[in-house]
Amino acid sequence: MNLLFDFYGSLLTQKQAACFTMRFVHDYSLTEIAAHLGNSPQAVVDFLKRAENGLKQYEKHLKLVRKFQEMQSAVENISADLNALIRDNNIGESEKETVCRIKNSVDNLMLI
């Protein structure tokens, strides 16, 4: 849910986002959230359910988290393949330097 919130949290209502943040980031109890927002604990439960459902619906339609995870996996595979090439004794130093430059670029992609 936190990854979904990272991608889609700004699309939730202000109260849904606040409840989600207090509950899952700051680990507030329902009572604490209710007191902070001036709502009942049941209202907080409703906000959290709507937030969770909203996040799931955004992912169902947009699939940004799935695409991100697939891209991250592909980049990790590319990085592993490049590491294998760097260790390969059958390629020349010039080729290894080129592979190292490519690997640095791929590693930088992982940081984005």
Q: What is the pLDDT of residues 73-90, one digit of tens each?
A: 999 999 999 999 988 888
pLDDT, residue 110, reads: 80
Q: Identify the band that residue 62 occupies on the pLDDT scale cut at 50, 70 and 90.
A: very high
Kindly report the CATH class assigned to 2-62. Answer: mainly alpha
Instruction: Report the half-sphere exposure of 22 (CA within 13 A, side-chain side).
Output: 20
Supply 62's token pair.
Answer: 């947009």
Spatial contact of 92 and 98, defined as CB atoms under 8 Å apart: no
Whether 112 shows a pLDDT value over 80: the answer reads no
User: Rounded to an integer, what distance in angstroms lies between the CA atom of residue 59 and that of residue 57?
Assistant: 5
Supply 50's token pair.
Answer: 């709507």
User: Rounded to an integer, what distance in angstroms lies between the CA atom of residue 20 and that of residue 52?
Assistant: 8
Structural domain boundaries in the chain: 2-62, 68-111
User: Rounded to an integer, what distance in angstroms lies between the CA atom of residue 56 and that of residue 50?
Assistant: 10
